Amino acid sequence: MTQTESQQTDRQNKVNPHDFTWKYWFIVPIYPYSKRRTIRKEVLKDTIWTFEQLQGIFYVVVPIRMTVIKLQAGGLFVYAPVAPTGECIALLRELEAQHGAVKYIILPTISGLEHKVFVGPFARYFPQATVYVAPKQWSFPLNLPLSWLGLPRDRTKILPEDSQTTPFAREFDYQILGDIDLNLGRFEEVTFFHKSTQTLLVTDLLISIPANPPSILQLEPYPLLFHARDSARDKIEDTETNRRQGWQRICLFALYFQPTVLKVRKWRETFADSLKAADRSPKAYFGLY
């Protein structure tokens, strides 16, 4: 463990629970609801950092990542903001103190509500920053103006087709990929390339699955342990093996399983088993799984 990681671990152990409150959780009411932890990692010394949180449904939780890059002229470039909790903003303020203020905030997708919902609240913490969004933005069920979705009216701009016309063109190139019809709307993503470090920034187009659960899931391992069980009758046991097994099952649920290949149990059987569940608390969905 590096000194930076050790310092962050100490900070996380001392953090006030209020510092990871996300007060707009009800807009997209998914786990972990109003409480979101943040882990910052330095990918390239004094140049690139990632900020990870988690989110999911029915404890099928996966990391969501924001990337921060130091600009050569000073200041910070933020790609795909996450929830601006007190903890997250404090970690970013530390980088600002060393490398300059946030200058650019990028929303690289048009369909990902789980990304879009954070941009407006995040941008309000950095009033000097310009917000750039992928073109062809839309919202559901009503297609509303960006300002109605919380993005600052006077400093939100659409990413132009030609990346060389942007103020960060010397350091970044980008490609607008899409758009693809999703019936309800369209999918489009803007991938960025940081020239000096040869780093590609993507949102949903590319996924890397580690063998072990990511660090952000290890802070609160209950979802991992929940899915490590074979039935609701099994007790929650916190072991390294169970954490890994839970992570593997979460990955299968999130990426591979389709409704057509799942065998759904009858409600009568489900309720009968719930009466024998090891944990029938609301946290365990009353033993229904």
Least confident of 5-19, 30-44, 147-161, 177-191: 5-19
pLDDT recorded at residue 1: 47
Same structural domain, 228 and 141: no
Locate 76 and state its tokens: 């910070």
Domain count, the chain: 2
Confidence of residue 12 (pLDDT cuts 50, 70, 90): low
* Structure confidence at residue 141 (pLDDT): 76
Please check whether residues 29 and 166 belong to one and the same domain.
yes
Last residue of a domain, one of 201, 236, 271: 201
Q: Answer yes or no: is 213 within a domain.
A: no
Give residue 48's Cα distance to chain centre: 17
Asked if residue 4 has pLDDT above 60, the reply is: no
Q: Is 183 left (phi over 0), alpha (psi -120 to 50) or beta?
A: left
Give residue-wise pLDDT tens across range 68-116.
999 999 999 999 999 999 999 999 999 999 999 999 999 999 976 778 8
Do residues 145 and 44 share a domain?
yes
* Residue 215 domain flag: no
Whether residue 25 lies inside any domain: the answer is yes
Report whether the peptide linkage leading into residue 259 is cis, meaning its omega lies within 30 degrees of zero.
no
Comparing CA positions, the residue from 46, 37, 90 lying closest to residue 68 is: 46
Domain assignment present for residue 130? The answer is: yes
Could you tell me the residue range of the domain that residue 257 belongs to?
A: 221-287
Domain end (from 152, 173, 201): 201
**Is residue 209 in a domain?**
no
Question: CA-to-CA distance for 248 and 257, rounded, in angstroms?
Answer: 12
Q: What is the CATH number of the domain that holds 196?
A: 3.60.15.10
64 pLDDT tier (thresholds 50, 70, 90) = very high
Task: For the chain, give the number of residues.
Answer: 289
Both 67 and 132 in one domain: the answer is yes
User: Do 250 and 193 belong to one domain?
Assistant: no
